[in-house]
Structure 1
Amino acid sequence: MIAPAEQALSYTQEQPADAVAIEALLDHAFGPGRFVKSSERVREFALFRPDMSFCAWDGGRLVGSVRMWQVRVGDTPAVFLGPLAVQAAGRKFGVGGELVQMASAAARAAGFPVLLVGDEPYFGRFGYSAAPCRGVVMPGPVDQRRVLALGADKLEGPVRA
């Protein structure tokens, strides 16, 4: 059972010791299909940024995670958000939204725009939009309408290391 956010949930910066629990959560949330997505291609070459990645905990149990990866979009340094995973029971308490806001704020404080592949109705409430991303080229097939950014007027070019 997950407690309401104002009670027992705590949020921490990701630590190396969290990796096993995060992988288990990602396996549960996305299954093996996560490895064929264009976003996974980005994570294969991007630099992991644990300083901008966060976990949500209910006591000692991981209930949510968001990871960030340093990339370039064309010549523009940026960070790539994802995956974002939250146990089903935690979704009604806003765990995912809190994680997105924390990761986005960390990226913006470090001077990076944020890129992701996701649903604009969900991420739009945090300021993400497809408008700056028309010229973004992801590694592999992707629905261009789902390529979103925050903190950039225009991103253009291939996503690369």
Structure 2
Amino acid sequence: MHNTPLSGISADALNALLDDAFGTDRHMRTAYLLRKGMTAIDHLSFGILDDNALLASIQCWPVRVGMADLILVGPVAVATHCQNKGLGTELMQLMLNAATPQDAPMVMIGDPEYYGRFGFEAKDTSGWTLPGPWEPRRLLLRNVEMVALPTHGMLGPAD
């Protein structure tokens, strides 16, 4: 297995992986509304391949709350036959290692029990809203540089 920038992966292979991991109705999820019309951030989006088959991927997107730039992490997708083998952890580490001090704080919708080990937490997101349904405890922020962010606002695509 090896990792590669996701920009080198075909859209068909990526869509097949996402359908397998999340179902074909995945476009109805709130996270899709957050990144609608955005292009993935190349230096933070990766795939894991085995014999040219895409087994897992991570994508990051430019979003904003108020006037503050953020990076939306996700989806973190792992093929159903490869789950629970550490590929999600590998992708998260790969993405975090590629992040630079100039990158905006990161936000995601995910399980705090899993993503907390990567520095994501819900403590500063309680005043934010999303353009669809979400569980407040699952709106997570990683703000290593302690960038000043709005305490209230709608999270959405960075125009």
* Residue aligning to 2:116: 124
Deviations 1:102-130 (A, max 9, x none): 22333444421111001111111111101
- Residue 125 of structure 2, aligned match among 127, 133, 142: 133
- Deviant stretches of 4+, over 4 Å: 152-155
C-alpha distance in 2, partners of 1:155/1:103?
Answer: 25
In structure 1, give the amino acid aligned to 2:155.
V
* Residue aligning to 1:46: 38
In structure 1, give the amino acid aligned to 2:43.
D
Report 1:75-154 matches (<5 A): 75-151=67-143, 153=146
Percent of pairs with identical residues: 33
- Residue 159 of structure 1, aligned match among 146, 155, 158: 155
In structure 1, give the amino acid aligned to 2:130.
M
Q: Is the 8 A contact 2:108 2:141 kept in 1?
A: yes
Q: Is the 8 A contact 2:47 2:57 kept in 1?
A: yes
* Residue aligning to 1:57: 49
C-alpha distance in 2, partners of 1:112/1:28?
Answer: 30
Structure 1 unaligned segments of length 5 or more: list them: 1-8
CA shift at 1:52, angstroms?
1.2
Count of equivalent residues: 153
C-alpha distance in 2, partners of 1:16/1:69?
Answer: 17
Q: Is the 8 A contact 1:132 1:149 kept in 2?
A: yes
Q: Is the 8 A contact 2:20 2:80 kept in 1?
A: no
* Residue aligning to 1:6: none
In structure 1, give the amino acid aligned to 2:154.
P
In structure 2, give the amino acid aligned to 1:140.
G
Q: Is the 8 A contact 1:133 1:155 kept in 2?
A: no
CA shift at 1:48, angstroms?
2.1
Relative to its length, the structure with more helix (as a share) is 1
* Residue aligning to 1:32: 24
Deviations 1:79-123 (A, max 9, x none): 101111101332332110111122233344442111100111111
Q: Secondary structure at the match of 1:129?
A: coil
Q: Is the 8 A contact 2:35 2:63 kept in 1?
A: no
